[in-house]
């Protein structure tokens, strides 16, 4: 074939057979790929549209707080604040440019980091590092709470006699015999045994010491002897008077409820109205969480919504009875203002915990939106509430109540804005409308809300409490209508009737509803498979699961299904996380070793049921801490204990110097509070290392071990200060009797438990 326009003929080769098909396939892929890229670009452009950026700001703000809590050392607060201010100023300057969205996220991250650093610097206080076995204290009682076996109170210390070089503490939390705690606001003198705040019980577990630090508490302990009430040398200040007034109100409410109700009924009624939930017996408390109704005991979004909702509709109904008001005045806005006042009172009465603060801010934003004629339940409302909580209490980010509350609320808001309109968008003559007339819509709404909220909180319950609730939807369907329609309204009417002395009938009604809730709780908790256990996993799967929940909740285009993929990946990651082969307690008196069957065997030189129970829960082990089977395969004598690992190697707990010579030859790992020989052939974990690093987890890695500590070398934070240079504590001269003796820290854990 000759070329047009003349010239030489040119041979052309045409693809045939497999070559032609391959070329066609490549051409097809090449044609589809730009289409996929274009579709993804369009979806991303839609997600970045006007008004879609605000919900991501608190997420970036929280990411900055998370980075702060993962720092090895405390940052310089004034410096990070200046950096954050500069980045925020740059974001403002670029507000008209295409880079504004990215710069705003960077500014939010920097601001979160700076806010957390400033909060820590503002509340900085001394934290006890070594036990004080006898200290004379004087101070004001700030809080008081009843527990099942003991009472507990927080003392604001005004005078403290202690040894030289010991810190003077601002607040301490002390346990006393049940019924002997002094009243809030009183000025007392006492002797106490003080102990450092409880460290994490295993690497990666909840940090009790960090929680106490942000509460302003530097130590915990026991009262020794009697407590003397003195005349205060000066006024305790308005904060103390306020605390005493609120505590007096809680005590008065509890006393009135006590005249009608008793046992768990009284304890649950008090918990719902005042937030004091520690008097609930252990069986009922455990059953509540196993069944998925544990959220009822923690005053959060549900309770605040019920209180505000009942007051709103009651006030609006009363005002509607006056025709002149309905025509002339905005009674809906008046009702919202009354509901806001009631929610504020409920916040103060319940103690203003993190979950309560979050729910109050959320409820307040909704009610204010009603008063200014704006849409109430939106992602913006949730974003504003999150920013308020994290700004005032950045430490809330690492608390399970914050994580679970916002995850559940995000799921519910997404259900309202995305799922509900589609579910009920049908003609009036449809089957859906006929079912709705018989309450089917309400039942479906409650079931969906319970399912979505339970699904959203599952990763956090599994991470913090190592449990899931398979029958949570069933329990909530059976119990929550009664709680919402009878228990909480009766409680509110009881509070309103107390000044008139007419509250008894309402406490009885409240008790009837609580009886039903307990019946449902115990029944669901007894169902086969009701106790869903989950072994501990790291923060990586939790962060990935959080990303999945956020993507599913906030995105509107099909990009949201990337969140489902993230949740699946997080689940697979969580179940594949290897568990430690050896756990060593921070005091060196308890060692858990994984055997050939994959279960933990425990060597103990002292009783510490609380610690062992937490180890078993994190291992998804159903055994109790007192199970004799935990010591199967453990060989003990007065000199120490030894047990085999899964590969046949030995782990020894040496109690006497005489045992070290043999253990260093035969064992692979030796745990001891003694000085080991310098030529010991085993991996030695002595008291000095445990004092410096705390509880250790060891995983087999070839012939050696990968060691993870709760306080790695180089980490120094205000709530977990480095103690490398601290004086070594004295070693007891008498040998501890395995399973008999208890250290003061262990005794404190038993009392706290």
Cα–Cα distance measured from residue 526 to residue 291, given in angstroms and rounded to the nearest whole number? 9
Give the H/E segment covering residue 230: strand 219-230
**Residue whose tokens read 């046949």:** 648
Which band of pLDDT confidence, cut at 50, 70 and 90, is reported for residue 1? very low
Q: In what order do the strands lie in the sheet with 590-594?
A: 600-604, 590-594, 582-584, 696-701, 704-709
Structure tokens at 114: 């700076």
Q: pLDDT higher for 270 or 83?
A: 83
Identify whether the C-beta of residue 173 lies closer than 8 Å to the C-beta of residue 220: yes
**So what's the pLDDT on residue 728?**
47
Domains of the chain: 56-123 (no CATH), 132-234 (2.40.50.140), 539-576 (no CATH), 582-752 (no CATH)
pLDDT of residue 232: 82
The pLDDT value recorded for residue 558 is 86
In this predicted structure, what is the pLDDT of residue 592? Answer: 94
- From 9-18, 432-441, 573-582, the region with the lowest mean pLDDT: 9-18
At 245, the pLDDT band (50, 70, 90 cuts) reads: confident
Cα 255 to Cα 238: distance, rounded to the nearest angstrom: 25
pTM confidence score = 0.84
Say what the pLDDT of residue 366 is: 82
- Binned at pLDDT 50, 70 and 90, residue 354 comes out as low
Please state, in angstroms and as integers, the Cα–Cα distance from residue 567 to each residue in 43, 192, 461, 471, 563, following that order.
Answer: 21, 49, 15, 20, 6
Q: Which of 542, 540, 560, 538 is nearest to 551 (CA)?
A: 560
C-alpha closest to that of 514 among 265, 203, 343:
265
pLDDT at 709 over 50: yes
> The tokens of 644 are what?
């085999």
Residues for the chain: how many in total? 753
Q: Hey, CA dihedral for 445, 287, 747, 741, is it positive or negative? A: negative
The string of pLDDT tens digits covering residues 357-371 is 777 887 888 888 888
Coil/strand/helix, residue 180: coil
Average pLDDT estimate for 122-151: 86
**195, 212 contact by CB (below 8 A):** no
Query: Which residues, in sequence order, are CB contacts of 510 under 8 Å at separation 6+?
Result: 261, 269, 486, 487, 490, 491, 494
Task: Give the pLDDT of residue 420.
Answer: 60
- What value does the mean pLDDT of the chain take? 82
Residue 746 pLDDT > 70? no
- For tokens 């950026």, name the residue: 53
Higher pLDDT, 374 or 733: 374
Query: pLDDT (tens digit, 9 = 90+) per residue, 561-590?
Result: 899 999 999 999 999 999 999 999 988 889
Are 161 and 208 spatial neighbours (Cβ–Cβ below 8 Å)? no
What is the bridge-based pairing of β-strands 171-177 and 150-161? antiparallel
């Amino acid at each position: 074939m000759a070329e047009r326009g003349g010239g030489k003929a040119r041979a052309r080769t045409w693809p045939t057979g497999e070559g032609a098909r391959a070329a066609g396939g490549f051409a097809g892929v090449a044609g589809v790929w730009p289409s996929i890229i274009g579709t993804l670009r369009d979806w991303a452009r839609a997600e970045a549209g006007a008004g879609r950026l605000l919900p991501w700001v608190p997420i970036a703000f929280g990411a900055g707080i998370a980075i702060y809590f993962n720092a090895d050392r405390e940052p310089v607060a004034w410096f990070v604040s200046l950096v954050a201010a500069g980045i925020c100023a740059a974001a403002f300057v670029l507000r008209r440019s295409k880079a504004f969205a990215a710069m705003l996220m960077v500014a939010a991250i920097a601001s979160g980091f700076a806010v957390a650093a400033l909060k820590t610097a503002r509340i900085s206080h001394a934290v006890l590092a070594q036990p004080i076995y006898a200290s004379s204290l004087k101070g004001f009682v700030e809080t008081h709470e009843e527990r099942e076996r003991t009472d507990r109170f927080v003392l604001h210390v005004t005078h403290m006699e202690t040894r030289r070089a010991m810190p003077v503490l601002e607040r301490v939390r002390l346990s006393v015999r049940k019924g002997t705690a002094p009243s809030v606001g009183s000025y007392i003198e006492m002797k106490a045994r003080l102990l450092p705040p409880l460290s994490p019980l295993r690497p990666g577990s909840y940090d009790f010491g960090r929680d106490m630090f942000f509460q302003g508490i530097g130590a915990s302990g026991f009262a020794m002897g009697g407590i003397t009430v003195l005349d205060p040398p000066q006024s305790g200040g308005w904060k103390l008077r306020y605390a005493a007034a609120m505590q007096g109100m809680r005590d008065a409410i509890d006393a009135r409820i006590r005249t009608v109700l008793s046992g768990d009924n009284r304890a649950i009624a008090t918990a719902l109205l005042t937030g004091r939930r520690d008097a609930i017996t252990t069986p009922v408390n455990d059953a509540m969480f196993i069944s998925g109704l544990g959220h009822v005991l923690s005053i959060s979004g549900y309770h605040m919504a019920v209180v505000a909702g009942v007051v709103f509709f009651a006030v609006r109904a009363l005002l509607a009875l006056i025709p002149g008001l309905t025509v002339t005045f905005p009674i809906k806005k008046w009702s919202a203002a009354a509901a806001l006042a009631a929610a504020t009172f409920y916040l103060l009465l319940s103690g203003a915990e993190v979950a309560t603060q979050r729910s109050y801010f959320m409820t307040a934003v909704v009610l204010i939106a009603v008063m200014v004629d704006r849409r109430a339940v939106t992602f913006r409302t949730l974003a504003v509430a999150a920013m308020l909580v994290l700004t005032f209490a950045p430490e809330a980010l690492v608390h399970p109540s914050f994580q679970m509350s916002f995850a559940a609320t995000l799921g519910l808001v997404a259900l309202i804005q995305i799922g509900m309109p589609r579910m009920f968008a049908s003609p009036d003559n449809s089957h859906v409308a006929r079912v709705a007339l018989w309450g089917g819509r309400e039942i479906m709404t409650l079931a969906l809300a319970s399912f979505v909220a339970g699904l959203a909180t599952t990763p956090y319950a599994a991470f913090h409490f190592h449990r899931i609730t398979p029958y949570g939807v069933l329990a909530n369907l059976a119990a929550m209508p009664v709680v919402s329609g009878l228990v909480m309204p009766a409680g509110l009417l009881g509070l309103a009737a107390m000044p008139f002395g007419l509250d008894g009938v309402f406490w009885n009604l409240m008790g009837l509803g609580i009886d039903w809730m307990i019946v449902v709780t115990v029944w669901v908790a007894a169902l086969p498979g009701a106790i869903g256990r989950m072994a501990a996993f790291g923060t990586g799967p939790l962060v990935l699961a959080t990303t999945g929940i956020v993507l599913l909740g906030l995105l509107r285009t099909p990009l949201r299904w990337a969140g489902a993929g993230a949740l699946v990946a997080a689940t697979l990651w969580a179940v594949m996380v290897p568990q430690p082969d050896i756990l060593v307690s921070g005091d060196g008196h308890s060692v858990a070793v994984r055997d050939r069957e994959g279960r933990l065997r425990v060597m103990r030189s002292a009783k510490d049921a609380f610690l062992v129970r937490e180890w078993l829960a994190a291992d998804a082990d159903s055994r109790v801490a007192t199970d004799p089977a935990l010591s199967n395969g453990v060989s003990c004598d007065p000199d120490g204990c030894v047990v085999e690992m899964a590969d046949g190697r030995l782990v020894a707990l040496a109690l006497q110097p005489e045992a070290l010579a043999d253990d260093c030859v035969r064992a692979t790992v030796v745990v001891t509070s003694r000085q080991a020989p310098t030529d010991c052939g085993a991996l030695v974990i002595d008291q000095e290392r445990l004092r410096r690093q705390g509880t250790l987890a060891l995983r087999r890695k070839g012939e050696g071990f990968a060691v993870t500590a709760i306080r790695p070398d180089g980490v120094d934070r205000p709530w977990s200060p480095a103690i490398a240079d601290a004086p070594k504590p004295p070693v007891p001269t008498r040998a501890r009797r395995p399973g008999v003796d208890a250290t003061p820290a262990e005794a404190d854990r038993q009392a706290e438990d």
